[in-house]
Amino acid sequence: MSDQTLNDLFLHQLKDTYFAENAILKAIPTLMDASTSDDLKLALGVHLDETSGQIKRLEEVFGIIGAKPEGVECKAILGIIAEGEEVIEEFAGSEALDAGIIAAAQAVEHYEITRYGTLYAWANQLGLDEAAELLKDTLIEEENTDQILSDLAESSVNEEADQD
Ligand SMILES: [Fe+2]
Ligand SMILES: [Fe+2]
């Protein structure tokens, strides 16, 4: 049996999430540029700023456990981002584009919600109270972003996409 512990698992997932957030920080401007709805551009812009803060929080968590901030490649987020880019290419100029962008962005948020939910639970289990608070703050931002995107889709974007 391996002698790896929950501490090791926590650090590994922290690195995975750090890599993912940095990839997301680079991907959001692509989604913003492609969006035709001003409300969608605005929502993505707000979350771009939040994402910078989330990266700083992760760096604080690395500090709390005495580790240096570094990423490990997260194949899942690269796949989710690549799918979003495919949608942008395939639906460029289409009424349905913004609906596709929202769906791609929500896939990112759901990925992050699962990661931060786990990191928060593990930080609590490990007695890392300060880290748990930081992770919870980010978890709430990801959940709020997901809700804002759902509201935007359901209040206008889906209907605009459905023009024929
Ligand atoms: Fe994030
Ligand atoms: Fe996010």
Compute the distance from residue 48 Cα to the ligand 2 centre, in Å: 8
Taking a 5 Å cut-off on Cβ, the residues next to ion ligand 1 are: 51, 54, 112
Compute the distance from residue 164 Cα to the ligand 2 centre, in Å: 32
CB burial of residue 67 (10 Å; 0-12, 13-18, 19+): middle
Say how far apart CA 54 and CA 60 lie, in whole Å. Answer: 10
Task: Report residue 103 CA to chain centroid gap.
Answer: 13
Tell me what the mean pLDDT of segment 134-162 comes to. 95
154 pLDDT tier (thresholds 50, 70, 90): very high
pTM: 0.95
Buried b (16+ CB within 10 A) or exposed e, 138-158: bbebbbebbebbeebbeeebe
**35, 63, 72, 134 from 144: Cα distances, Å:** 20, 26, 27, 16
**pLDDT at residue 157 in the model:** 87
The model's pLDDT over 87-125, given as tens digits with 9 standing for 90+, comes to 999 999 999 999 999 999 999 999 999 999 999 999 999
Compute the distance from residue 38 Cα to the ligand 1 centre, in Å: 21
Say how far apart CA 138 and CA 99 lie, in whole Å. Answer: 25
CB burial of residue 72 (10 Å; 0-12, 13-18, 19+): middle
